[in-house]
Amino acid sequence: MPTGTAADAVPETGSLSTLARALLDTASLIRVMPERVKIAPAAPFPAGETSSAQVFLERVTGALGLPEVEVESEPGRLSAVELAVSRRLSLRPHGGTADEEQIEEAARRALSAFPGRPVVVPAYDGSPLRCWAVGPEDAPAVAVVSACGMPVGLVANWMSALSSSYRVVTWESRGLFAGDDGSGLGDLAGHSLHVQSDDLLAVLDGFGIARAHAMGLCGGAAIALAAAARSDRITSVSLWHGDYELGGDAPKTAHQRDVESLLTMVSRDLRQATGMHRLMSRPATLEALRQDIAHYLIHPYATPELLYRYGLLNGAIMTTDCRPLLTAGQPTLVVTSKKDATAHPAGSEFVAAHLPQARLRTLPEGDHLTAFDAGDELVGLAREFLHTVTTEDRKGT
């Protein structure tokens, strides 16, 4: 790898630290792509600056332990994934310089920034799970169960909002994320809802946590519900804009039906996934994604293998009947919105009506993705509920 010199031009991203953080924020894509990810600048580089930007980025990715990326002079024919990464990095021409010490320091800060580096915890079947834990070790525990296939960055706001008072743990879906050490995806040993709910318990084991509140978002709500139905280690539950299979007892949105059909098709075999991946690699795919988090949302569609595995994992979540799980007797908060056009609010209403100790909050505003933003109203609602169900845990602390 070229090491460059102090005279290498620094692409403008606000600061070197900002660039390092942005690269880590897109690392799940950079690591999993079979070839170097092409990066286009936000504005065309002047003649001759593309090569210096390339050398500089090689120095930064090297310091971060990431695969190299390839700088293009303009967007050209980049894939949807490459455009999503390019937009997150937002490179612009700049005449500044950075020496090796500055780059190493920016990398150290980025790698140690919240929520920190992952800890690899083995699932019960040996599958490696990339996990994070933040907050006081002696505080009541909250396990954040994110949507299937989403990088940790999508729930980082929730982790930050709760970590001052709680020990917050989370993980990324099994088999969908490459290891930091270049080991690739690894095998997908199992994919059922039962197996994925076991992963929640394995994460608790990995951090020495005896019991926890399970906070499930989107399809993560079904995983949290499954874990609660099977284990009293889950002492309470909150289910946010949950995506449930409830047979004929609750309708689904057009989006749910479309995604379920897609997952059924791509999970048949890798050939089917490869054909669909070609379509989803077109830049037009980004038009349907919220731009500020598109680099997270596109992750499970990044390669044919990922799409195939996502079909198995999220397909199991979306098609497993959740009605037998509604015996879970833990105190439960169910949250939805009248404006959620992604996961039908009727599903949350049915779940809340049939769980023994559930209460429902239907908010007048907020779409499906705002549940991940951890806005003030939602955080306040979560904190209020957590306080009521973790008071006993705080005695003697």
Instruction: Flag whether 222 is in a domain.
Output: yes
Instruction: Give this prediction's pTM.
Output: 0.93
Cα 86 → chain centroid: 19
Of 112, 127, 162, the one marking the end of a domain is 112
Cβ–Cβ under 8 Å, residues 296 and 154: yes
Q: Domain check: are 57 and 152 in the same one? A: no
Of 64, 84, 112, the one marking the end of a domain is 112
Instruction: Flag whether 267 is in a domain.
Output: yes
For residue 115, give Cα distances in angstroms to 24, 174, 216.
Answer: 12, 19, 19
Q: What is the pLDDT of residue 366?
A: 92
Cβ–Cβ under 8 Å, residues 270 and 308: yes
For residue 307, give Cα distances in angstroms to 12, 272, 369.
Answer: 34, 10, 21
90-132 tens-digit pLDDT: 987 655 578 899 999 999 999 999 999 999 999 999 999 999 9
Look up the domain containing 227 and give its range: 119-394
Q: Domain check: are 303 and 220 in the same one? A: yes
Q: Domain check: are 208 and 290 in the same one? A: yes
Cβ–Cβ under 8 Å, residues 39 and 66: no
Q: What is the pLDDT of residue 396?
A: 39
Minimum mean pLDDT range among 143-157, 178-192, 247-261, 383-397: 383-397
* Tokens standing for residue 230: 């099977």
Q: What is the pLDDT of residue 394?
A: 52
Cβ–Cβ under 8 Å, residues 48 and 14: no
Instruction: Flag whether 44 is in a domain.
Output: yes
Instruction: Flag whether 5 is in a domain.
Output: no
19 backbone φψ class: left, alpha, beta (φ>0; ψ -120 to 50): alpha
Cα-Cα-Cα-Cα dihedral sign, residues 93, 95, 99, 105: negative
Report the C-alpha gap between 374 and 112 in whole angstroms.
22
In the predicted structure, residue 395 carries a pLDDT above the cut 60: no
Q: Domain check: are 292 and 327 in the same one? A: yes
Q: What is the pLDDT of residue 185?
A: 93
Report the C-alpha gap between 303 and 31 in whole angstroms.
11
Q: Domain check: are 302 and 372 in the same one? A: yes
Provide the pLDDT confidence category of residue 46 given band limits of 50, 70 and 90.
confident
In the predicted structure, residue 5 carries a pLDDT above the cut 60: no
Q: Domain check: are 126 and 235 in the same one? A: yes
For 307-320, b/e burial (b = at least 16 CB within 10 A) is bbbbbbbbbbbbeb
Instruction: Flag whether 3 is in a domain.
Output: no
Instruction: Flag whether 4 is in a domain.
Output: no
Q: What is the pLDDT of residue 33?
A: 96
The arithmetic mean of pLDDT across residues 213-237, rounded, is: 98
Q: What is the pLDDT of residue 3?
A: 31
Instruction: Flag whether 138 is in a domain.
Output: yes
55-101 tens-digit pLDDT: 999 999 999 999 999 999 877 789 999 999 999 999 876 555 788 99
Q: Look over the chain and give the mean of its residue pLDDT values, rounded to a whole number.
A: 93
Question: Radius of gyration of the chain from Cα atoms?
Answer: 21
In the predicted structure, residue 6 carries a pLDDT above the cut 70: no
* Tokens standing for residue 42: 């936000």
Q: Domain check: are 91 and 228 in the same one? A: no
Provide the pLDDT confidence category of residue 392 given band limits of 50, 70 and 90.
low
**DSSP three-state, residue 367:** coil
Cβ–Cβ under 8 Å, residues 78 and 38: yes
* Tokens standing for residue 23: 């690269």
Report the C-alpha gap between 4 and 236 in whole angstroms.
54
**DSSP three-state, residue 177:** coil
Q: Domain check: are 83 and 213 in the same one? A: no
DSSP element (H, E) containing 334: strand 332-337
Q: What is the pLDDT of residue 386?
A: 98
Of 112, 147, 165, the one marking the end of a domain is 112
In the predicted structure, residue 153 carries a pLDDT above the cut 90: yes
Residue 46 is given by DSSP the state P
Q: Domain check: are 86 and 218 in the same one? A: no
Cα-Cα-Cα-Cα dihedral sign, residues 186, 308, 192, 374: positive
**DSSP three-state, residue 44:** coil
Q: Domain check: are 63 and 84 in the same one? A: yes
Q: Domain check: are 107 and 123 in the same one? A: no
Instruction: Flag whether 1 is in a domain.
Output: no
The arithmetic mean of pLDDT across residues 264-280, rounded, is: 97
DSSP element (H, E) containing 257: helix 254-266
Backbone angles phi, psi at 221, to 5 degrees: -65, -40
User: How many domains, the chain?
Assistant: 2
With DSSP H G I counted as helix, E B as strand and the rest as coil, what are the percentages for the chain, rounded to 5?
45, 15, 40
Domain of 232, CATH number, reads 3.40.50.1820
In the predicted structure, residue 12 carries a pLDDT above the cut 70: no
Q: Domain check: are 325 and 372 in the same one? A: yes
Give 213's strand partners.
Answer: 142, 236
The arithmetic mean of pLDDT across residues 282-296, rounded, is: 95
Q: What is the pLDDT of residue 94?
A: 58
In the predicted structure, residue 274 carries a pLDDT above the cut 80: yes
Residue 342 is given by DSSP the state S
